[in-house]
Amino acid sequence: MNTLTKMALGLLGQLHGRPASGEVLGELALPPARTTGGLALMEALSRRHSEREFRPDALAPEQLSDLLWAAAGINRSEHGGRTAPSALNAQEVDLYVALSQGLYRYEPQRHVLLLVKAEDVRRVTGYQDFVDHAPLDLVYVADHGRMKTVPAAMRESYASVAAGAMAQNVYLCCASAGLATVVRAWFDRQALGQAMGLGPEQQILLTQTVGWPPAASSPGA
């Protein structure tokens, strides 16, 4: 769907998702994240960039697992420490995962995806048309209910910083894996919040598309 159509539908309150495709599972198991190896850090930084062209091919479960762990995974199991920082360790940013087979929420403790809605909401995650068919759109959502110890005036900015750190982890993971990604703030907040069924304490901060760049070879290609 092109940008103008999305804007018009958004104004009319009619920008919605599509029915999910394939089998919709209440819980999607993920293989363990590969927490060693990959590109050397300085090389990944050298390659980090935004891309806005994606092939529709699905990501491999291992790639999805690595990306989610990079964004929001637990890297210190003794106290539940995460790969990205958060003010007062509030861990207030939830990672939602929009796939063709439904909208899921990443659950870091069990490293699984939990079904939120059996709907393909990818096209609502941004005004740009590539978000509709790229295999993965991430949505970073702050839960203000988890920030009660942070002064109210600071909550949005602290959560945005935390989401930015998570998004940069995804950028570096993509650079290492040869995947394309772009972080995005240009989306219809009202339409997306409704499509996701978010509550009053939840605030969408950022979205991020991930997929194969046009020239890359994907499994089975």
Q: Which residues bind ligand FMN (CB under 6 A)?
A: 49-50, 52, 128, 182-186
Give 11 or 185: the residue with its C-beta nearer to ligand FMN: 185
Largest CA distance in the chain: 51
Q: How far is the CB of 166 from ligand FMN (least distance, A)?
A: 12
Q: Which helix (H) or strand (E) holds 123?
A: none
Q: How far is the CB of 211 from ligand FMN (least distance, A)?
A: 14
Give 2 or 50: the residue with its C-beta nearer to ligand FMN: 50
- Per the structure block, which two tokens stand in for 140? 């970073």
Could you tell me which residues come within 8 angstroms of residue 215 by beta carbon, excluding any fewer than 6 positions away? none
Burial of 64 (0-12, 13-18, 19+ CB in 10 A): buried
Q: How far is the CB of 189 from ligand FMN (least distance, A)?
A: 12
Q: How far is the CB of 203 from ligand FMN (least distance, A)?
A: 14
Helices (H), the chain: 3-11, 41-47, 61-72, 130-133, 155-177, 189-196
Q: How far is the CB of 35 from ligand FMN (least distance, A)?
A: 25
- Per the structure block, which two tokens stand in for 21? 């495709």
Is-contact 169 113, C-beta < 8 A? no
- Among residues 72, 97, 66, 75, the alpha carbon closest in space to that of 86 is found at 72
- Among residues 221, 183, 188, the alpha carbon closest in space to that of 49 is found at 183
